[in-house]
A and B are shown apart, each in its own frame.
Chain A
């Protein structure tokens, strides 16, 4: 990743966090909040190398945890596992495809939610969280897929990331 790409990436992540924490909650009801960092992570998993992408995916998850709930490391673990799973088969796919990107975001949303739920049930004491999480699955899935489709519609989406 070149210095320019890294700078752009940092700006994008910061902007995403600010939008998710301060802007979206004002206009959108909780079940319809998109997970912008998850979308970025999927993009990285499909386009970026393992060496660069894996730590970034973990860091994105950590950032998600800093801005959410009580459990630091929960989304970090989920993001990293999701990254590794996507990476394991992304080389065999046409990663530039917009449809693949949208479908992968939807799949990771579901998988991430399941993993989060599993980790919380195993390691934390939050009775009743399963109901809240499962009731939000469908809107969350749709919103994340919608955001992914917007990202895929950007000009230059089908260009490869610069590599150093």
Chain B
């Protein structure tokens, strides 16, 4: 008895461990089946678990939907600001990309010009609608003089007419006062391109016998000394030969997109003081 009293706890512990191992070992082969203990416990607890789980769900909703949203308004504002700044950045990057493409084309054009050129940006337009002029951000301090040719990546724009130290006015080829000596690229027929107002020009002094067709490219002839030879001016859109008269009527659409010009090149050739 003394022995039992003395070693009761270790014996009970050992028996307990053995019983636990026995239960474990007996259940190992049937580990996917619920035994009587499991079934009983689950049966007893399941009616209790359902409402408790609902309560805990409710508490979770309250926590996530209200308590954790204390800073959401502030975060929302911050995120909106982030979106705005990111959108702005995307716009700036797109603008830079487009500017890069335009400048690349301008650079290609520049490579084709033997004379030195000055790049300029369009900063203004004519205040009236019946004259066609532009204002560029380069003037006499950059070496520009009146009577210099102005071109873009697509073709001829016009020539400088009024030059100040930091800005110049460019007379567009569509202005009524503009005249550029030109040649039809295909047939080498000659004439003078005169402005006709908004987005239109005509090729004048081309005799009826000259070969001019719709779609022909009109280029500068180089005569007159303002424009270097071979720059595209535009495309023939209409040819009309009357029954009488010496000349034919030829309409031209300018090659350059005149209403949306941004960067131009001023060819440093000729000009007058």
Contact = CB atoms under 8 A, between A and B. Distances in A.
Chief secondary structure at chain A's binding surface: helix
Chief secondary structure at chain B's binding surface: loop
B196 interface: yes
Nearest to B195: A128
B176 A127 contact: yes
Interface in B189-212: 194, 196-198
B259 to A, nearest CB: 8
Interface string A122-136: 001111110111011
B124 interface: yes
Contacts of A125: 177
Interface of B: 123-131, 133, 135, 161-162, 171, 175-177, 194, 196-198
B129 A136 contact: yes
A30 interface: yes
Contacts of A17: 127
Interface in A17-36: 17, 20-22, 25, 30-33, 35
Interface residues of A, number: 28
Nearest to B260: A26
A67 B129 contact: no
B196 A25 contact: no
B127 A20 contact: yes
Given A67-B124, A70-B171, A132-B198, A140 B176 contact: no
Contact of A132 (B124, B130, B194): B130
A25 B198 contact: no
User: Considering the complex of A and B, which 4 residue pairs feature the smallest CB-CB distances, nearest first?
Assistant: A69-B131, A25-B125, A21-B124, A30-B129
A64 interface: yes
Nearest to A72: B162
A5 interface: no
Contacts of B196: 128, 132
Contacts of B197: 128-129, 131-132, 135
Quick one: which of A22, A25, A127 has the most chain B CB within 10 A? A25
Nearest to A31: B129
A35 B126 CA distance: 11
A7 to B, nearest CB: 23
Contacts of B130: 69, 129, 132-133, 136
Nearest to B164: A66
A68 interface: yes
B176 A22 contact: no
B108 to A, nearest CB: 27
Nearest to A26: B125
Interface string A18-58: 00111001000011110101000000000000000000000
